[in-house]
Amino acid sequence: MADLEKLRAVAKETVSRDDVKYLIGWRQGTYGFRVSPHFITEPEEADKLIFSPLCSNNLATYLTLVEKLPVPRGQEPDTRKIALMVKGCDSRAVVQQLVEQGIKRESVIIIGCPCQGVVDLAKVEEKFPAVLEQVEARWDDGKIVFKLSEGEKAVPREEVLADKCLRCRYPNPVTADTLLWEKVEAESNDEYADVGELEGKAPEERWSFWEAYFSSCIRCYSCRNVCPMCYCEDCILDRLNPTWVNRSNNISENTAFHLARAFHLAGRCIECGECERVCPVNIPLMKLNRKLTKEVREKFEYEPGTDPDSKPLQASYRPNDQENFIL
């Protein structure tokens, strides 16, 4: 499992191909438990690639984030493939992008990394505060082993893994051109306990819960920018004419922003949790997204990012679709 030699060998071979523009993987970050995306065009750069419990980043976002620069007259646009390393959750983002025609299947090479779960940085940094030197980590039989300057520390996975990983039903890429190592076993079910807990509260309680979080939002748009499913050329929330959401930072506009985003993700969110991970003020955005994910699953038996041949939920219709939620 997590055979780095294999990973690097496959990466080398892939970037050496003439029809590949670059490969996106993970590398060590600059300090502590951080990991950076690694864009490589040359085989020798592959040696820096890693795959460890620290590789939280969903790299699928870079497939659609890339800016299409104007092509000078007389030149052909670069149509070479992009190779991408994906965990299970990341692969669902790729599949959903395929469903929405955000990317074309022939323009990507998917290198699948079956994953035993990645850490929640907040949980780790609570256990090991103020670590500045670069830390490595590995999976070891239900434990996560961190290589710190004072030596290796093994922590049970339940204590440091991200919540989404503890209930993960898709640890293995749902689609891949190459699978780097053996598949891992998945959790069988996700009962949406976190959503259920909120649903059980009175409307006023729920509102005060969100009011507190939305008031603290600084509208940095990190959640939107990191989201692999947010890739409109021109986001409707940035528009001035008409202005759907004002720029002013207040509870009203912030709420409008988050609700609009949540509804734009209904039937599309693949629960990679990147929005929540990057939020500088720790808004539990996944609770919002997962509420809609749950509704979509229960009402329409639809799970985005699992079938590249499916039709997008919001653009498909069955005569027997439920409509009892329409007031």
Partner 1 sequence: MNNKPKIGVYVCHCGMNIAKTVDVEAVSEFASRLPYVKVARNYSYMCSDPGQQLIKEDIKNEGLTRVVVASCSPRMHENTFRKTLAAAGLNPYYLEMANIREHCSWVHENREEATAKAKKLVYAAVAKVRLLEPLEEKEVEVEPSALIVGGGIAGIQAALDIAAAGFKVYMVEKTPSVGGKMSQLDKTFPTLDCSACILTPKMVDVASHPNIELMTYSQVEDITGYVGNFNVKVRKKARYVDINKCTGCGACAQECRLAGTIPSEFNMGLGKRAAIYLPFPQAVPAKYTIDKERCLFLTRGKCGKGPKCIEACAAGAINFEQQDEIVEFKVGTIIIATGYELFDPAKKPEYGYADYDNVITGLELERLVAASGPTGGEIVIGKGEKAIVPKEVAFISCVGSRDESVGKPYCSRVCCMYSAKLAHLVTEKLPDANVRIYYMDVRAFGKGYEEFYDRVRREGVRYIRGNPSEIFKRGDKLVIKAEDTLAGRTLEDEVDLVVLATGLEPRQDAREIIDILKLSQSADGFYLEAHPKLAPVDTATDGVYLAGCAQGPKDIPDTVAQAKGAASSALILLSSGKVKVQAQISNINEATCRGCGYCVEICPFGAIDLVEVNRMGNIVQVARVNEALCKGCGACAAGCFSGSAQQKSFKDQQILPQIAVLGAMK
Residues that bind partner 1 (CB under 8 A): 68-73, 75, 77, 100-102, 231-236, 239, 241-242, 264, 311-312, 314-316
| Cα–Cα dist 164/320, whole Å | 32
Cβ proximity to partner 1: between 66 and 166 the closer is: 66
Least gap, CB of 242 to partner 1 (angstroms)? 5
The CA-CA-CA angle for residues 313, 94, 50, to 5°, reads 150
Least gap, CB of 258 to partner 1 (angstroms)? 16
Instruction: Name residue 134's amino acid.
Output: Q
Q: φ and ψ at 311, to 5 degrees?
A: -95, 150
Cβ proximity to partner 1: between 38 and 258 the closer is: 258
The CA-CA-CA angle for residues 207, 211, 212, to 5°, reads 125
Report in angstroms the alpha-carbon separations of 59 from 11, 93, 271: 15, 9, 14
Cβ proximity to partner 1: between 203 and 242 the closer is: 242
Cβ proximity to partner 1: between 69 and 193 the closer is: 69
Crossing angle of helices 285-300 and 251-264, in 10° steps, is 40
Least gap, CB of 20 to partner 1 (angstroms)? 19
Least gap, CB of 233 to partner 1 (angstroms)? 5
Beta strands 81-86; 35-40: pairing state: unpaired
Least gap, CB of 128 to partner 1 (angstroms)? 41
Cβ proximity to partner 1: between 133 and 318 the closer is: 318
